[in-house]
Amino acid sequence: MRRHAPARLTLPQQCEVCRRWADSGICAECLCRFAAPRPRCTTCGLVTGLALPRCGACLREPPPFECTVCVADYAYPWDRLITAFKFHGRAELAMPLAELLAAAVRRSVAQAPRPWPDTVLPVPLAPARLRERGYNQAWELARHVARTLALPSDAALLQRPLDTAHQSALTRSERQRNLRTAFMADPQRRNALQGRRVALVDDVMTTGATVRESAAVLRRAGAAAVEVWVLARTPDNPTAD
C-alpha cells in the first residue's frame, strides 16, 4: 500500500504562464485554458475523437508499454516552459511541472484502475549530454512526481552509456535507428526489475521512439509492465517520416 505523501506548506507565487499570483506554479485558470483533458489513445497519448484503449497505429503495432499519461499537447505555453526547463537552466520548474504530471497520473489511475508502479524511472541522458546540460530534466521530473505520489524512484536503473545524435533534427525512422542499443538496464541490478511495474518519465514524447526503445529494454530486463508518464505529447503529423 502506498504511503501518503507528507503535506507541504504552500505560499503564494506567480503563475509561470500568466504571471498572476496563485497558490501553485501554474494557476487554475491557465490549467483550464491550456491543459483541459482531451480524449486520447490511452496507449500512446495521441489525441483521438474518442477515449480509446488503443488507436489504429497502436493496434497495428502495439508498443512495449502499457499506457501513456500526459498533461497536454506540446504547444503554447508548455513548449516555452519545457524549453526553459530543459535547455536554459530553469531546474526550479521541475516542481510545478511535476505537480501537473502527478495530478494527471492520479486521474488516469482513477479512470482506468491498475496497480501503482513499483518504481519511477527517468529516461536517462548520455554522460556527455548530462555534463553539457548540468542535470537530467527527466530525473528532476521523475523524483518530484515520485515524491508527490509517495512512490520509490531510481535515477540509475536505466542507463544510456552511448552518446547519440540529437533526436530533434531527425526523422521518425532516423530516430529509431539512432536509438538502437542506446539504452541498457544496470547489469549489476537486473534483478531489481524482475516482475516489477515501472513508470518511465520524460518531458516530451514526440514520435515515441525514445520511450519505445527504453520500455523494450526494461521489458527484456524482466519488467512485468511499463507505463509512460510525460508532460507533453507532440500532436500527430501524418506527413512525418
Identify the CATH number of the domain in which residue 163 sits.
3.40.50
pLDDT at 134 over 50: yes
Residue 181 covered by a domain: yes
What is the DSSP secondary structure assignment for residue 191, as one 8-state letter?
G
> Band of the pLDDT at 203, cuts 50, 70, 90?
very high
Residue 49, pLDDT score = 83
pLDDT at 63 over 90: yes
pLDDT at 232 over 80: yes
Residue 29 covered by a domain: no
Residue 192, pLDDT score = 92
Residue 50, pLDDT score = 82
Q: Which domain holds residue 53?
A: 40-233
Question: Within a 13 Å sphere around the CA of 182, how many CA atoms are in the beta-carbon half?
Answer: 23
Residue 87, pLDDT score = 93
Residue 100 covered by a domain: yes
> Band of the pLDDT at 3, cuts 50, 70, 90?
very low
| DSSP states of 47-98 | B-SS-BSS-HHHHHS--SSSEEEEEEES-TTHHHHHHHHHHSS-GGGHHHHH
Residue 21 covered by a domain: no
Mean pLDDT score across all residues of the chain:
88
Query: How much is the average pLDDT of 57-68?
Result: 96
Residue 158: how many CB atoms within 10 A of its CB?
A: 23
Task: Tell me how far apart the alpha carbons of residues 172 and 241 are, in angstroms, rounded to a whole number.
Answer: 5
Give the residue with greater pLDDT, 167 vs 129.
129
pLDDT at 34 over 70: yes
Residue 240, pLDDT score = 45
Task: Tell me how far apart the alpha carbons of residues 87 and 49 are, in angstroms, rounded to a whole number.
Answer: 34
Residue 3 covered by a domain: no
Query: How much is the average pLDDT of 119-125?
Result: 97
pLDDT, tens digit, 9 for 90 and up, residues 180-195 = 678 999 999 878 999 9
Domains: count for the chain: 1
CA 213 to chain CA centroid, Å, is 14
Q: Produce one character per residue of 9-19: b if its CB has 16 or more CB atoms within 10 Å, e if not.
A: eeeeeebbbee
Residue 211 covered by a domain: yes
Query: How much is the average pLDDT of 70-94?
Result: 95
Residue 12 covered by a domain: no
Residue 240 covered by a domain: no
